Amino acid sequence: MEEKPKGKVAVEEEDEDQDDDDGAQLGNGGVILVLFETPTGFALFSYDGIKLLRPHALMHPVWLKEFQAFEDKASALSLDTGVSEQLAGMIRRFICPGQTLAVGKQEYVTIIQSNLGIKCLWNAEVMELMWGLNNLKEHLVPDGKSDLSKEDCLPMCEGMKFTLNKYGFGDLKPEMVTRSIIEATGLLYETDYHVRKHGESMRYAGKHLKKISGINAEDWDLLKLATAIMMLCYPNGEYKLVGNLPELFGDDYSKLVDDAPKYKGIFRKLSCLRAYAEMVRSRRIRSKAARRLDSLVTAAERIYDEAQQAQPGVIKQE
């Protein structure tokens, strides 16, 4: 957000160095292959594996490389038979030298590494990814509409439990969770992420408010802080800002207006503008997503209660 201050550049370089380390650990620059099992076959996806090593790693895109159906899927990948020629050919066709293959079962690590010599990854983060793929597979793979087993039907992963609890729906029973609730929760999380990801640079830039204008912005939410920085970047009102600014900032409003010239050259104006626009857009979407999630959860609870009351032997509560 700022005009190349040494501290900020150092932070960015540290983040880039960490990406390099994680990329080296996973191979292929951190881009992994994901072997995803469906009721009738296997699919291979490409995924930014570095995201699995980072906080807030939900909702990142995957790319389908190939899907193949298997007549005898049970023997395609097992401890007894190893890796079938068909599946081995499929994996070898897309795997790059040194690339990591994420798999959905722990035993698959042993089978594939011993038979194909390919480094595999299986952990809690991979299982979260597999859970997401499983619940979206009808949109991702050709046989995605095939019937799901009871075990596969919208299981509640730890990530979804945590996220629902974060938004105040921690008491929602797993059997109440529908695909629509999952999608609405994902959208809500994504909008928060697109605000939260600017937190470090915004807080760093906000330190200048204290230093130059004596304004303590530590307790401000990120959008309020971004709005203040936009006022300083564009003091002549070149861009319309959201909200009643005098009411939003109170006594600090006059300080921001009067001190704006003192901030000339401190911030990267275009970066501030882009961050502010993304945060405003995300907050608007979030408002709609929150209302939709609340409505979906209310409907799911009502349907669940009605189903419980309809069961034989259940006494209806007045």
Domain boundaries, the chain: 6-147, 154-311
Provide the residue-wise pLDDT of the chain in tens; the chain has 318 residues: 544 333 322 222 334 344 445 556 778 777 899 999 988 899 999 887 877 776 545 556 677 888 999 989 889 999 999 999 999 999 999 998 899 999 999 999 999 999 999 999 999 888 888 888 887 777 677 654 444 444 444 455 566 777 788 888 888 888 888 878 877 887 888 788 788 888 888 998 889 999 999 999 999 999 999 999 999 999 988 888 999 999 999 999 999 999 999 999 899 899 999 999 999 999 999 999 999 999 999 999 899 888 888 776 554 443
Q: Which residues make beta-bridge pairs with 102?
A: 34, 121
Handedness of CA 193, 195, 196, 198 (dihedral sign): positive
Residue identified by tokens 């880039």 is 16
Q: What pLDDT, on a 0 to 100 scale, did the predictor assign at position 217? A: 92
CATH of domain 6-147: 3.30.420
Give bridge partners of residue 260 from the DSSP assignment.
Answer: none
pLDDT at site 1: 52
Q: Which residues of 86-124 are buried (b: 16+ CB within 10 A; e: fewer)?
A: bbbebbeeebeeebbbbbbeeebbebbeeebebbbbbee
Whole-number pLDDT of residue 75: 92
| Short-list 44, 53, 33, CA closest to 87 | 44
Helix pair angle (6-26, 199-208), 10° resolution? 170
- Among the listed residues 219, 221, 228, the one whose alpha carbon sits nearest the alpha carbon of residue 255: 228
How far is the C-alpha of 161 from the C-alpha of 82, rounded, in Å? 35
Each as own residue / partner, the long-range contacts of residues 14-17 (CB below 8 Å, 24 or more positions apart, any chain) are none
**48 near 31, Cβ under 8 Å?**
yes
